[in-house]
């Protein structure tokens, strides 16, 4: 197991270095000069421009800037946002819980609906249920989620008035930002109605974000289940007269879930990309929206740190999935 882990990490180190290079160089390639944007229509004298550029450290050789950036990373310093003058890491973690809360809800929703859908479709292969649910899954898989979100807003907020337009909770509730997860914080605040309000705000964004992962998980579960069901030991168990429920529940499902777990893990990247769109549509104060804002105001350190941190999160999740997979399926470790 340790060797497996070390082997994985050895792969990750060059990838991580690559990520720092990409994050750093992409930001340097962005057209536009933050100093000029700060000065606006007033204009800025060449001397003052040089002075501010030096103050921000952008006048040093690029290699020095890069090494400085990497050294800072080891000390947990991801730079300081040009817009707010606060550490990028702090900014990121102030908004990250909102994205995690949304993403987690979406993945859970996708899993608890996607897996049963896929499994039943496999068991009832060729039935109307199979065809309808897999048809729906394909539609979900093809969905432009930014449009889907708008449609849901029109219907549930506009026509029915069931859900709020945007935000995380009604503004009239106010309690300290303990965990950063609105559902937990609202519950701990003890204010009546706060939790329901937070939940109502969360429903539409999670549904939108869950759509594609749900479709992928359902399709994957179905084909994994079909494969397992056709294997010899399941046929034997069936032949021995074991109840179909036990066959499916105990033998088939456990084996079928192994590839599904990988699929769920891989959806984290999809969810991160989807969060950018979902957060924009629902004004959800998370890192997706923060990244878009940072790009448009040329906040170099924030874009750089944000790219790095988001890639880091995807990498860590993928590593965990790999490890989990190794634990469940020992064959992998030795191959």
Least Å from the CB of residue 213 to another protein: 13
Least Å from the CB of residue 292 to another protein: 7
Least Å from the CB of residue 151 to another protein: 7
Least Å from the CB of residue 41 to another protein: 6
* Nearest-angstrom CA–CA distance, 151 and 295: 27
Q: Which one among 5, 89, 170, 324 touches another protein, defined by CB under 8 A? A: 170
The answer to whether residue 168 forms part of the interface with another protein (CB under 8 A) is: yes
* Nearest-angstrom CA–CA distance, 28 and 25: 5
Number of residues that bind another protein (CB under 8 A): 101
- Show contacts with another protein in window 92-131 (CB under 8 A): 94-95
Least Å from the CB of residue 333 to another protein: 20
Question: Near another protein by CB under 8 A, which window of 60-68, 240-248, 253-261, 283-291?
Answer: 283-291
Least Å from the CB of residue 76 to another protein: 15
- Show contacts with another protein in window 230-249 (CB under 8 A): 230
* Nearest-angstrom CA–CA distance, 56 and 72: 15
Q: Which one among 128, 172, 331, 335 touches another protein, defined by CB under 8 A? A: 172
How distant, in Å, are the alpha carbons of 43, 52, 56, 59, 115 from that of 46?
10, 10, 15, 13, 62
Contacts of 138 (CB under 8 A, 6+ apart): 215, 219
How distant, in Å, are the alpha carbons of 6, 22, 26, 73 from that of 319?
11, 20, 25, 20
| CB neighbours of residue 222 within 10 Å | 26
- Show contacts with another protein in window 186-215 (CB under 8 A): 191-193, 197
Note whether 211 and 152 are within 8 A (CB): no
* Nearest-angstrom CA–CA distance, 265 and 220: 13
- Show contacts with another protein in window 24-83 (CB under 8 A): 26, 29-34, 36-46, 48-49, 52, 55-57, 80, 82-83
Note whether 297 and 86 are within 8 A (CB): no
* Nearest-angstrom CA–CA distance, 274 and 143: 11
Q: Which one among 315, 319, 324, 328 touches another protein, defined by CB under 8 A? A: 315
Closest by Cα among 211, 223, 320, 330 to 271: 211
Q: Which one among 4, 66, 146, 325 touches another protein, defined by CB under 8 A? A: 146
Q: Which one among 248, 256, 272, 321 touches another protein, defined by CB under 8 A? A: 272
Least Å from the CB of residue 100 to another protein: 14
Looking at the Cβ atoms of 110 and 270, the one nearer to another protein is 270
Question: Near another protein by CB under 8 A, which window of 61-69, 107-115, 174-182, 256-264?
Answer: 174-182
Note whether 97 and 181 are within 8 A (CB): yes
């Amino acid at each position: 197991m340790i060797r497996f882990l070390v082997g994985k990490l050895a792969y990750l180190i060059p990838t991580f270095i690559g990520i720092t290079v990409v994050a750093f160089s992409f930001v340097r390639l962005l057209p536009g000069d933050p100093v000029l944007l700060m000065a606006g229509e007033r204009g800025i004298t060449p001397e003052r421009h040089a002075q501010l550029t030096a103050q921000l450290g952008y006048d040093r050789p690029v290699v020095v800037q890069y090494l400085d950036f990497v050294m800072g990373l080891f000390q947990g310093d991801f730079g300081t946002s040009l817009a707010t003058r606060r550490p990028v890491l702090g900014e990121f973690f102030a908004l990250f819980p909102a994205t995690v809360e949304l993403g987690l809800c979406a993945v859970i929703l996708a899993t608890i609906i996607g897996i049963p859908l896929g499994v039943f479709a496999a068991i009832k292969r060729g039935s109307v249920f199979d065809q309808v649910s897999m048809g729906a899954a394909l539609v979900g898989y093809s969905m432009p989620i930014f449009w889907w979100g708008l449609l849901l807003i029109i219907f549930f907020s506009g026509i029915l008035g069931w859900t709020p337009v945007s935000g995380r909770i009604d503004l009239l509730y106010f309690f300290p930002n303990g965990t950063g997860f609105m559902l937990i914080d609202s519950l701990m605040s003890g204010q009546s109605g706060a939790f329901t309000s937070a939940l109502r705000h969360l429903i539409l964004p999670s549904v939108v974000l869950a759509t594609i992962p749900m479709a992928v998980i359902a399709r994957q579960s179905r084909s994994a289940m079909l494969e397992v069901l056709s294997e010899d030991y399941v046929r034997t168990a069936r032949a021995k007269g074991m109840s179909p429920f036990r066959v499916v529940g105990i033998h088939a499902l456990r084996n079928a879930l192994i590839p599904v777990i990988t699929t769920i893990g891989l959806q984290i990247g999809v969810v991160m990309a989807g969060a950018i769109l979902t957060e924009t549509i629902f004004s959800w104060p998370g890192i997706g929206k923060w990244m878009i804002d940072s790009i448009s105001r040329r906040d170099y350190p924030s874009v750089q740190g944000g790219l790095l941190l988001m890639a880091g999160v995807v990498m860590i999740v993928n590593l965990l999935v790999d490890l989990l997979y190794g634990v469940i399926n020992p064959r992998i470790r030795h191959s």
